Chains A and B, each alone.
Chain A
Amino acid sequence: MSQARTSIPRSVAAHAVLLTYTVIALFPVFVIVINSMKSRRAIFGHPLALPSTKTFDLIGFRTVLQQGDFLLYFQNSLIVTVVSLFFVLLFGAMAAFALSEYRFKGNMLMGLYLALGIMIPIRLGTVAILQMMAATHLVNTLLALILVYTAQGLPLATFILSEFMKSISDDLKNAGRIDGLSEYRIFFTLVLPLVRPAMATVAVFTMIPIWNDLWFPLILAPAEATKTVTLGAQMFIGQFVTDWNAVLASLSLAILPVLVLYLVFSRQLIRGITAGAVK
């Protein structure tokens, strides 16, 4: 890209815009984190000031960490999120491939059927889902959550992935077929690597609601051994509604793991996106 114009004023303007938006995006997180480390009086007196030696106070963190096994909650959240994500991506990509690659009777109908799920909140099915999980003795297991989240994530994953798969060149696939590759080999070795950017995107969209969900952990797995981080943090927020040191501390604790996870994951995500792009 030899002639791309990167004149100085233009790049300054670009940085100015991006920087401004970055500040807007990060400011609220900053407010929570700095205030979680201040004394109660300082939180209210000077909410925007950084903690100083005079106002520095970790009382909130102490209160929160005294109760609840945040490490266990974190582990639960991680297992549920990663396992659900794996199944959503695998099953979703397979279904999307079937829908976008083959012409068959009822293709459109099947596509619409699989998309129904993005139009009704799954929360409405709570009682029936709970009955089913109770009947199969899955209440208070992480498996119950994994099943629900897999089902919940599939419609969107299938929808987005089939859109992306439609733009994969047919020549490539047909070349594979001429070489005698089975349809499964074509999917796993030719198509999947090409939709990696889309997979990465879907992964992020799927991961966020799962990690942040409050409802199903509360209903399906509220036991101490299966509590997720979000449910744990919510209990604290409810419990210390007047104790803002503890509220802010538990919020910070809820943000931190996702943030770390995201920062680690975002490298993969970006690598996925750029690797997939034909550059």
Chain B
Amino acid sequence: MAEPTPERRPVRWHIAVFLAPAVIVYTLVMILPLAGTLDLALYRTVDKAQHFVGIANFSKLFGDPNWSGHFWNALGNNFWFFIVNMAVQNPIGIALAALLSSPRLRMKTFYRTAIFIPTILSFVIVGFVWKLILSPLWGIAPDLLKMVGLRHWFAPWLGDPHYALTTVALISVWQFVGIPMMLIYAALLSIPDEVIEAAEMDGVTGMSQFWKIKLPLILPSIGIISILTFVGNFNAFDLIYVAQGALAGPDYSTDILGTFLYRTFFGFQLQLGDPNMGATIATAMFGIILVGVCIYLFGIQRRLRRYQF
């Protein structure tokens, strides 16, 4: 942690100068509009006018089965989406970074560049191409499975309520694996040679070197990745929207908080947008994410030992 600055000066203007540009732009363009929107959660529109209703919208969201059913379904799906991402994306990312950082590996640049490419693609492209690959009509996935003799494994995954969510979550993993890879790679590279050499002197090499020496040193980065994954997943929307549509089919089995919020806030097809209930859902989402971030900031981050090199 940063040490207290050695001397106390009366007014440290430079702090204000450093903070000002970010705070001003951020407050004006992001916080004020968002606050204005979330505020709607406490109101109800009656005859074009907003009436203050306190927490009535929240009791509706959690108490009225027509709302709560969708909410809990979306929340549950969202947790599964997050779990798949945490359990698949981050370990793969760390493993790839570990492999890439091994010394004297050839073609490093090529691998690193190639594996990051899915991350730079837009959701429109990702959604389109995976629907196409997994399409029973085009036959790319079935043909590939046939080549390895597993044609009978193929099922219309995106159309099946049992598999659709996991499939979409895995597509998300495919798209974003580059992010943990890059972050961990950067962290691994910044481990000083002396540390590694000292370990090797002590005979700690290979896998055990990774587990005993490197992993503890990159734990803060893993922490950042986890919290970024959490926030990203609970704000996710676009991928489900382009792959499964705003109704997040089949039968709402891929509906997550982001798609539920979008439908409610902006409306969909014949369903009219409801800014009040939309803001209520957004506030609930905000609460969930805030709790997660606070657990990280106060519970986990403080326990992580940080090494200054």
A interface list, Cβ under 8 A from B:
1, 3-6, 11, 14-15, 17-19, 21-22, 24-29, 31-32, 44, 47-48, 87, 90-92, 94-95, 97-104, 110, 112, 114-122, 124-129, 132, 147-148, 150-152, 154-156, 158, 160, 163, 166-170, 174, 177, 182-184, 187, 197-198, 201, 204-205, 208, 211-212, 214, 230, 233-234, 237, 247, 251, 254-255, 258-259, 262-263, 266, 270, 273-274, 276-279
Contact = CB atoms under 8 A, between A and B. Distances in A.
B308 A124 contact: no
B309 A169 contact: yes
Contacts of A266: 112-113, 116
A121 B237 contact: yes
B214 to A, nearest CB: 13
A118 B236 CA distance: 12
26 contacts: A4-B104, A22-B111, A26-B114, A28-B126, A31-B129, A87-B21, A91-B21, A92-B22, A95-B23, A98-B14, A103-B2, A121-B258, A121-B282, A127-B33, A128-B33, A128-B36, A151-B30, A154-B25, A169-B308, A197-B186, A197-B189, A198-B186, A214-B122, A233-B124, A234-B124, A262-B113
B216 to A, nearest CB: 14
Contacts of B128: 237, 247, 251
Contacts of B30: 117, 122, 125, 151-152, 154-155
A247 B128 CA distance: 10
B249 interface: no
Contacts of A278: 190, 192, 309
B26 A25 contact: no
Contacts of A147: 25, 29
B37 interface: yes
B174 A129 contact: no
Contacts of A98: 14-15, 18-19
Interface string B83-121: 000000000100110011011111101111111111111
A48 B219 CA distance: 42
B201 to A, nearest CB: 9
Interface residues of B, number: 104
A251 B4 CA distance: 53
Chief secondary structure at chain B's binding surface: helix
Given A3-B205, A25-B115, A48-B143, A32 B129 contact: yes
B206 to A, nearest CB: 6
Contacts of A90: 21
Contacts of A26: 114, 117
Given A129-B33, A152-B30, A28 B129 contact: yes
B25 A120 contact: no
Given A25-B174, A112-B297, A148 B231 contact: no
A28 B130 contact: yes
Contacts, number: 282
Given A21-B111, A25-B114, 5 more contacts: A94-B21, A103-B2, A158-B22, A262-B120, A277-B189
A266 B110 CA distance: 11
Given A22-B115, A120-B286, A233-B124, A168 B308 contact: yes
B37 A128 contact: yes
A115 B293 contact: yes
Interface in B21-43: 21-23, 25-26, 28-34, 36-38
A41 to B, nearest CB: 13
B48 to A, nearest CB: 15
B135 to A, nearest CB: 9
A119 B235 contact: yes
B14 to A, nearest CB: 4
Contacts of A119: 231, 235, 286, 289-290, 293
B247 interface: no
B303 interface: no
Given A120-B38, A151-B26, A166-B306, A94 B105 contact: no
B66 interface: no
B37 A21 contact: no
Contact of A32 (B117, B125, B278): B125
B140 to A, nearest CB: 5
B193 interface: yes
